[in-house]
Amino acid sequence: MNLRPLAAKLGITIILLIVGVLTMSFIQDAGHGQKEEPTHTENAQDESWQTEVEKEEYNAGKKIIEHITDSHDWHILDYKDSEGHKHHVSIPLPVILYHDGKFHTFMSDKLWHGHVYKGFKLATEGPDKGKVVKVIEENLINPEIITKDEGEVDHLPLDLSITKNVLAIIISSILLIIIFVSIANRYKRREKQAPKGLQSLLEPLIVFLRDDVAKDSIGEKYERYMPYLLTLFFFIFFNNLFGLVPIFPGGANVTGNIAVTGVMAFFTFLITTFSGNKNYWQHIFNAPGVPWWLKFPVPLMPVIELIGMFTKPFVLMVRLFANITAGHIIILGFISLIFVFGNIYIGLGYGVSIVSIMFSLFMSLLELLVAFIQAYVFTLLSALYFGLASEEHH
């Protein structure tokens, strides 16, 4: 092992960092110096912006959670105009509520800035923060959220809104359909010919899933599971990649949402259970090769196997959710570092940005790998479970 180049690179990096921090502090100092002159209005504005930022408490944890959780609007960016007013740029999304036997449908911009619309409001704090809640009718002038203990009616309506994640799922699904149906047409048109363009980009993945995932794990009956496995893989893979794109229509933390991964794991569970043959159920309730006293009078093995039926998809759900969420949190954490340090001293923020950008770039590259690996692992394990459920006696 030759550690010399590595050490040299590390040294160069550290020197660059120090130089960067010093330069940034110097530039900032210069700005401060210029600020004293009244003729430089632009700099004065910069200063006012800086002071305002310094006044605001930057809560990294809150920001990160806001980014990775679902929401009723698609937040694009915030900016301040020359007068220092803060503007939010968001895409309003449809809110669909079912409450007291009635459907309520409206766009989420009606609820922005704490507005109450049709008796609903977006909770800004508490355990239901970010959710649409019902407010007490009499209290409309000064709306208060009914908490579960006080109110007789459930203050949480059934929320079937098209949220950010739902929209992201729909967008990526439409994209998947467009891509793969066009590829399928290409296959029909160019029968028995070498793949071309997008087809040749995705064909290795399809063939890999067929030969190395499905065939190896399931065996001869792999063909009937292929549509599910391919959909699963490409859905996870595409959404993982979209999650890494910071601007619309990317950036939604779809595969890092436990509801999404849960639904996919549930599909795997359903297919596993329904494709279970006699052999599979025998393994669960009366595992061969296990001493009888493990099954009777206390059915230890059957209980363990039965629990195993549910832990397998549960683990699938948690693994994907945790991996993707963790990746997002780490990247957002590095980005937040810039603002946390910027709040202390703006030059420090610029200095730290070099390190932060490098680390989040590194993490993003790592996440590209994770995006593939997690999609692959979810698909492979699903295929293995199908294989276990449908394999013949060996």
Partner 1 sequence: MELVSPGIGLIFWMTIVFALLIFILGKYAWRPIMKALKERDEFIEESLTAADRAKKEMKELKFSNEQLLKEAQEERDAILREGRKIKDSIIEEAREKANEEADNIVENAKERIENEKKSAMIDLKNQIADMAITVAEKILERELSDPSKQKDYIEKLIDDTHLN
**Which region among 23-31, 259-267, 307-315, 363-371 touches partner 1 (by CB under 8 A)?**
259-267
CB-based contact 73:113 (threshold 8 Å): no
x/- map, 27-66, partner 1, by CB under 8 A: --------------------------------------x-
Determine the Cα–Cα distance for residues 312 and 315; give it in Å rounded to an integer. 5
91 binds partner 1 (CB under 8 A): no
250 binds partner 1 (CB under 8 A): no
Q: Which is nearer to partner 1, 199 or 356 (CB)?
A: 199
CB of 194 to partner 1, least distance (A): 9
75: DSSP letter: E
**Which region among 14-22, 67-75, 103-111, 353-361 touches partner 1 (by CB under 8 A)?**
67-75
Q: Which is nearer to partner 1, 74 or 235 (CB)?
A: 235
CB-based contact 309:228 (threshold 8 Å): no
CB of 134 to partner 1, least distance (A): 15
Question: The dihedral of CA 91, 81, 122, 251: what is its sign?
Answer: positive
218 Cβ contact list (under 8 Å, min separation 6): 225, 383, 386, 387, 390
Taking CA atoms, 15 is separated from 18, 135, 361, in Å, by 5, 57, 19
CB of 101 to partner 1, least distance (A): 17
Closest by Cα among 334, 264, 317 to 67: 334
230 binds partner 1 (CB under 8 A): yes
Q: Which string of DSSP letters, residue by residue, matches 25-67?
A: HHHHHHHHHHHTSTT-HHHHHHHHHHHHHHHS---HHHHHHHH
Residues that bind partner 1 (CB under 8 A): 65, 68-70, 96, 127, 129-130, 158-163, 165-166, 169-170, 173, 176-177, 180-181, 183-185, 187-188, 191-192, 203, 206-207, 210, 223, 226-228, 230-231, 235, 257-260, 262-264, 267, 321, 325
